[in-house]
Amino acid sequence: MRILSQLSRRSARRKGLTLIEILVVSVIFAIIATSLFIVFKAGLESWRRTQGHLEVYQNARSALDMMTRDLSAAYLNSGNAAITFKGYHNGGTPPPWGWKANSGGDEVYFIAALNPTLNNASAKFELCQVGYWYDSNANQLVRYYYAQVGAAPDYDFSSGNGASSKVAFNVTGLTLQYYGVDSNGNAVGPYTTWDSTSVSPPPPVQLNMKPTKVEITLTLRDPSTAKAQKLSAGVCIPQ
């Protein structure tokens, strides 16, 4: 009976966990939980980087599509000196090399045959003022747009009647190159500037002419890696 009693007491003591066993289990659980947290955090950060990367490039691709649409509709009329196509190069001479004071890249301004009533029901002419420039203060690609609403069309960009809107963010540069044809029909270029109103300093091939092609290069800053990437597109302009 004494032996059975002792065995019974030992069995009763072994039914619970000792402090050491609880500590060991807690440490193992903490290690597992920490490992799972590290794996989950790494996966979440990777997903965020990928989403940020895709958002930047999708936005830039949409901006290039918009520029392609607008440039493809560029219109020029040699009988109207106010209807022009002008491209300015960053850092060009003589100053001012562009129109916007806080521009940090190339600029282009032209008259486009779009459908202005889609944006402004009061528009009276299908020809619109369109322009693109890089806002270096906000790291944005900006579109300038003005639909003619007056009794007579106004193609003067310096009047400032148009509105500017952001079309791409995380942009750190805009580069434009222009191609044309000479009097013999031969392809010429690339040129860093274009001026349909002057023979000097631009080459004579530009006078009263639109470029046959514009090559656009956007420099982007990936916010997740801070690396600079470039996205390019070539736009053929009907003559």
Q: So what's the pLDDT on residue 180?
A: 93
Residues 6+ apart with CB under 8 A from 125: 116, 147, 148, 153
Q: How far is CA 132 from CA 44, 80, 143, 218, in A?
A: 36, 22, 5, 12
What confidence score (pLDDT) does residue 176 get?
95
Sign of the alpha-carbon torsion through 84, 154, 107, 228:
negative
Query: What is the model's pLDDT at position 214?
Result: 97
pLDDT of residue 142: 94
Res 200: pLDDT: 67
| pLDDT averaged over 10-residue windows placed end to end, the chain, 239 residues | 52 63 81 80 67 76 92 88 89 64 87 70 73 91 82 74 87 93 88 85 82 94 77 91
Question: Hunting for tokens 């002057």 — which residue is that?
Answer: 198
pLDDT given for residue 128 in this prediction:
85
In the chain the first and final C-alpha atoms are separated, in Å, by 114
The domain segmentation of the chain, as residue ranges, is: 58-236
State the residue for tokens 């020809």. Answer: 127
The H-or-E segment that residue 219 falls in is strand 213-221
On whether the CB atoms of residues 118 and 90 are closer than 8 A, the answer is no
